[in-house]
Amino acid sequence: MRLLSGVRPTGKPHIGNYVGALRNWKSLQDEGHECFFFVADWHALTTAYEDTKQLQQNTVEVMRAFLACGLDPNKSVLFVQSGVKEHAELALLFSMIVPLPWLERVPTYKEMKQQLSDKDLSNTGFLLYPVLQAADILIYLAEGVPVGEDQVYHVELTREIARRFNYLYGQTFPEPEVILSIVPKLPGTDGRKMSKSYGNIIPLENTSEELEKSILPMVTDPARKRRTDPGDPNKCPVWDYHRAFGISEDEKQWVFEGCTKAKIGCIDCKKLLLKNMKRELEPIWERYSKIDEHFTKDVIEEGNRKAKSVAEQTMKLVRERMNLLF
């Protein structure tokens, strides 16, 4: 299948980005799919338009994370959204045919306005976010979109937009399928949603010592105030990390019996987690150390060129279908 997905460069990538997206992308790449993965810098402007000082650097850092996590520019097309201007042209043309109520009913539109109530999100770019997202996907004629559950509705809207365009102008776009990534949502180190504003994230680019400083003080089941108190792993944020980093059946039994019967302390449980996390993350840290900014920008330029060659062909067809003179 031809697949497409992207990440907004709102900051340096963290463990949640890896577990929620990048790890799955590498698996899809290694399965032999035709993959397009991009840094969605225009999308970052929909909620952070007022401060763009770090946008360029964040964009480069996200691409470094792509490479460190094993995405291969020889196997996948790795590019930056703003480097392929055809995305904007297709989004403009889609905006001519998308009814306003379609956008106003998007669940995340109201949810994000409530969650980000301290920001002025009355800009049209925020409302048109799903239209640009549809252009991102359809301009590459993608057949599948790897996303988390929170993005399923956006892909469904993309299917509706493709269907409407095909009805009006003739068969042009496929209706992409959701490739759902079922992964545990990692909380922050304090048990709340992982967020820079809470100061509870774990950076993906890290060291063994710094990872220990993040994990060992993590909050656990509130019922375990003392080591002798029994707990419930299902109520403990550390358990979400265990599930994400490949705990074995024997280890799972050890954690559940030790926690529920107060046979182990929370530090013992966290030390097991650290062992499993380091096993998976150390190769990524090693690759990080070898990827500099110059190489990353070369990858971006080459990826933009490859992506643009595909996007140009799609736009040529779109203009013909819509009877545009130029």
3-class SS letters over 194-214 = CCHHHCCCCECCCCHHHHHHH
Q: Which of 13-17, 45-49, 142-146 has the lowest mean pLDDT?
A: 45-49
Q: Which CATH architecture has domain 2-186+292-321?
A: 3-Layer(aba) Sandwich (3.40)
Stretch 23-37: mean pLDDT, rounded?
Answer: 97
Short-list 69, 81, 82, CA closest to 29: 69
Q: Which of 111-115, 122-126, 202-206, 288-292 has the lowest mean pLDDT?
A: 111-115
Q: Is 186 left (phi over 0), alpha (psi -120 to 50) or beta?
A: beta
Q: Which of 19-33, 36-50, 116-130 has the lowest mean pLDDT?
A: 116-130
Q: What percent of the chain has pLDDT over 70?
A: 96
Mean pLDDT, the chain, as a whole number? 93
What's the pLDDT at 116? Answer: 67
Stretch 94-120: mean pLDDT, rounded?
Answer: 81
pLDDT confidence tier of residue 199, bands split at 50, 70 and 90 = confident
Q: Which residues contact 42 (CB under 8 A, 6 or more apart)?
A: 81, 82, 87, 88, 132
Q: Does residue 70 surpass a pLDDT of 80?
A: yes
Amino acid at 100: L
Q: Which superfamily is assigned to 206-287 in CATH?
A: Tyrosyl-Transfer RNA Synthetase (1.10.240.10)
Q: Does residue 294 surpass a pLDDT of 80?
A: yes
Which is more confidently placed, 218 or 118? 218
pLDDT confidence tier of residue 47, bands split at 50, 70 and 90 = confident
CB-based contact 141:158 (threshold 8 Å): no
pTM: 0.93
Q: pLDDT (tens digit, 9 = 90+) per residue, 227-241? A: 999 999 999 999 999
Short-list 95, 212, 68, 77, CA closest to 140: 77
135 three-state secondary structure: helix
Domain ranges of the chain: 2-186+292-321, 206-287
Q: Does residue 262 surpass a pLDDT of 80?
A: yes
Q: Does residue 195 surpass a pLDDT of 90?
A: no
Short-list 111, 133, 131, CA closest to 121: 111
CB-based contact 228:263 (threshold 8 Å): no
